[in-house]
Amino acid sequence: MKIVKSNDKIIEKFDKISDKEAEEALRTILKWIGEDPSREGLLETPRRVTKAFKEYFKGYNQDPSSELKKTFGDVEGYDDMVLQKNISIQSHCEHHMAPIIGVAHVAYIPNKKVVGLSKLARTVEVFSKRLQTQERLTMQIAKTLMTGLDAKGVAVTIDATHQCMTMRGIKKEKATTVTNYFLGKFKDDLGIQNRFLKFISEN
């Protein structure tokens, strides 16, 4: 691990781990759970898991703000809510590395410019492809959209199932968790906030 100083902040830079080192660590885990990593069915498992992890956690190598740089001003003064519902989320909790599966509802009020609709989903995707808590994930999406779009307001709701409590621990299979984060007009104006909540509750 290397320590570097940037803008008066101490930042930890971890040495890059190779695919080979990651695969060896997974072989150790297979032994730890009581398996034989040399048996035929598991020979390729460390490589496959390493490849899967690159997909699960690709958000660490992506910049969410870069998705919001291209905006469109030719919207004839549109200044009402833009809402995208039911954006699928597949993330992993940072406490047990168990899947978090659910949906996000994202809305913003433009300030002269709008962004391509796919960019809202991409912002959700970047942050979800990291180890997360649902609370932080909700806030990160909202704050990034607010800043990146210079929006008048942003609202984010996530409704998800955490397999760390459906498959282990308390094992409540039907439990879901809902988190909300409001900024700008969505926070200051309950009428706008309630419109958002009404829209996302409708099928």
71 and 151 share one domain = yes
Q: What is the 3-state secondary structure of the chain?
A: CEEEEECCEEEEECCCCCHHHHHHHHHHHHHHCCCCCCCHHHCCHHHHHHHHHHHHCHHHHCCHHHHHCCEECCCCCCCCCEEEEEEEEEEEECCCCCEEEEEEEEEEECCCCEECHHHHHHHHHHHHCCEECHHHHHHHHHHHHHHHHCCCEEEEEEEEEEHHHHCCCCCCCCCCEEEEEEEEHHHHCHHHHHHHHHHHHCC
Residue 68's CB: how many other CB atoms inside 10 A? Answer: 21
| 22 in a structural domain | yes
24 and 120 share one domain = no
Banded pLDDT at 13 (limits 50, 70, 90) = low
22 and 121 share one domain = no
pLDDT for 76 equals 85
Banded pLDDT at 70 (limits 50, 70, 90) = confident
Annotation says 164 is catalytic: yes
165 and 118 share one domain = yes
111 and 37 share one domain = no
| 109 in a structural domain | yes
Query: Which residue out of 67, 132, 164, 193 is catalytically annotated?
Result: 164
Annotation says 93 is catalytic: yes
Q: pLDDT at residue 5 above 60?
A: no
| 8 in a structural domain | no
pLDDT for 4 equals 45
Query: Do residues 145 and 151 make contact, with C-beta atoms less than 8 angstroms apart?
Result: yes
Annotation says 134 is catalytic: yes
Give me the domain span that covers residue 185. 64-201
Q: pLDDT at residue 8 above 70?
A: no
Average pLDDT over every residue of 67-89: 90
Banded pLDDT at 14 (limits 50, 70, 90) = low
22 and 96 share one domain = no
pLDDT for 12 equals 60
31 and 111 share one domain = no
Q: pLDDT at residue 80 above 90?
A: yes
Banded pLDDT at 17 (limits 50, 70, 90) = very high
**Which residue's structure tokens are 């992506």?**
62
88 and 133 share one domain = yes
Average pLDDT over every residue of 81-90: 97
Query: Which residue out of 134, 140, 163, 193 is catalytically annotated?
Result: 134
Q: Which of 56, 77, 103 is the last residue of a domain?
A: 56
CATH number of the domain within which 26 lies: 1.10.286.10
The tally of domains found in the chain comes to 2
pLDDT for 75 equals 79
* Tens digit of each residue's pLDDT (9 = 90 or more) over 136-186: 999 999 999 999 999 999 999 999 999 999 999 888 888 999 999 999 999
Query: Which residue out of 140, 162, 163, 193 is catalytically annotated?
Result: 162
Annotation says 21 is catalytic: no
What does pLDDT average to over the chain? 92
Annotation says 162 is catalytic: yes
Banded pLDDT at 45 (limits 50, 70, 90) = very high
Q: pLDDT at residue 7 above 60?
A: no
Query: Which residue out of 23, 67, 93, 140 is catalytically annotated?
Result: 93
Q: What angle do CA 184, 199, 159 make, to 5 degrees?
A: 80
Average pLDDT over every residue of 34-43: 97
Buried b vs exposed e over 124-148: b needs ≥16 C-beta within 10 Å?
bbbbbbbbbebeebbbbbbebbbeb
Name the pTM for this structure.
Answer: 0.90
84 and 156 share one domain = yes
CATH number of the domain within which 179 lies: 3.30.1130.10
73 and 47 share one domain = no
| 5 in a structural domain | no
| 160 in a structural domain | yes
34 and 103 share one domain = no
| 197 in a structural domain | yes
177 and 109 share one domain = yes
